[in-house]
Structure 1
């Protein structure tokens, strides 16, 4: 049973991750690989709305995707996009990235190799990772104007689509931890985290929503949060 306080804390982390960007036409859409085919669906929707002439899907596999996406996250995204009416010529696949930093670096290298000029990009991620993805992209490819995008849905709707509330809350906690500790490691830009978001994160971690935390960095994250 998930308590009312846990739901409220999870909602606060969810809301903080939303960047609130309005989609607009960009040079390319980059769909970040994950367990969630909704990322591919969101990228396809943007393509059909004329927001990008080209989609890059990036991602290998992880512990959460190797069984359900054995051909790789990017390849499964590509297949989904084609099913939904995107022509193959409008899709590039980057099949090697295993984290968000590699998603950005490898996508950049692919686009540069194909001589695709990029001044702006729709960064398509899971709803609870918009801010983390944005902070990473701004750090690693700073001369691009980034517009965050994801499937528009509520926390409850997302949990229903995944079917595992604890997993989603664990992921919210893990994403927030990385926002706190990764800037010091120069993996992403630093962003202000409101005090109430930090308190929500700490309560959830204390209540055991820790499966996506970087264990060696839990204490340092707490110190950063209190700084």
Structure 2
């Protein structure tokens, strides 16, 4: 049972994850693979609006996507974008990444192998992954300017589109945990997390929204209840 307080706490985490960047033309767009085909839809829309001349879709499969996207997240994203009018020769596929760090490093390697110069990246993710993706990219690809983007919709509408409220809140909690612990592990740049957001995260963990947490290192209490 998801309580009113759970929804309030989820909303705090959701609002914090949104970067509110204004999309602008970039060297390339990178669509981060996931269970949400809306990322491909938004990437295609941004391409049609002239925000980038080239797209990289990146992602293998996960326990969430292996049944619905058996050929890999990036491949299914590519198919979706082409259905929406993006030319096939404007899409590159990176099919091996299994986490956000690999999304960035393997996409970077693919573009370098193709001799494509990149000074700016439009980084397209799920709405609740904007800040995490941005902080990871800034750490792993210095010297490049990143603009975060996602499907512009409020939390209730997004939950309706996914049809799994528990999954969305679990994912929100997992993304927030990584923002709290990964900078110290060298995986992303630090982000200022407001105290009310941290408290919301801790309440959601205590209420059992823990399926997407990663084990914290010794001495950390940020994944208590996992």
Counterparts of 1:44 and 1:59, CA distance in 2: 17
- Alignment match, 2:199: 199
Alpha-carbon spacing, 1:221–1:179, altered in 2? closer, same or farther (3 Å): farther
Deviations 1:159-180 (A, max 9, x none): 0011111111011001000001
- Normalising by the residue count of structure 1, what TM-score does the alignment of the two structures yield? 0.96
CA contact (8 A) 2:216 2:222 kept: no
Q: What is the CA distance between 1:108 and its match in structure 2?
A: 0.3
Unaligned runs of 5+ in 1: none
* Counterpart check, 1:85 vs 2:85: yes
Query: After superposition, where does 1:1-227 map in structure 2 within 5 Å?
Result: 1-217=1-217, 220-222=220-222
| Aligned-partner Cα distance in 1 for 2:123–2:179 | 17
Residue aligned with 1:14, SS: helix
* Structure 1 residues 200 and 103: alpha-carbon distance in aligned structure 2, compared to 1, 3 A threshold: same
Structure 2 Cα separation of the partners of residues 222 and 35 of structure 1: 26
Q: How far apart are 1:215 and its partner, in Å?
A: 3.5
TM-score under structure 2 length normalisation: 0.96
Do the aligned partners of 1:177 and 1:221 also contact (CA within 8 Å) in 2? no
Structure ranking higher in helix proportion: 1
| Whole-angstrom distance in 2 between the partners of 1:210 and 1:22 | 32
8 Å contact from structure 2 (residues 56, 91) kept in 1? yes
**SS in structure 2 at match of 1:122:** strand
Offset at residue 218 of structure 1 (A): 9.2
Runs of 4+ in 1 over 6 A off after TM superposition: none
Distance in 1 (CA, whole Å) between partners of 2:61 and 2:206 is 30
- Aligned residues: CA RMSD: 1.3
| 1:76-116 superposed Cα distances (whole Å, 9 cap, x missing partner) | 00000110000011000000001000000000000011111
Q: How many residues align?
A: 223
Give the SS at the match of 1:147: strand
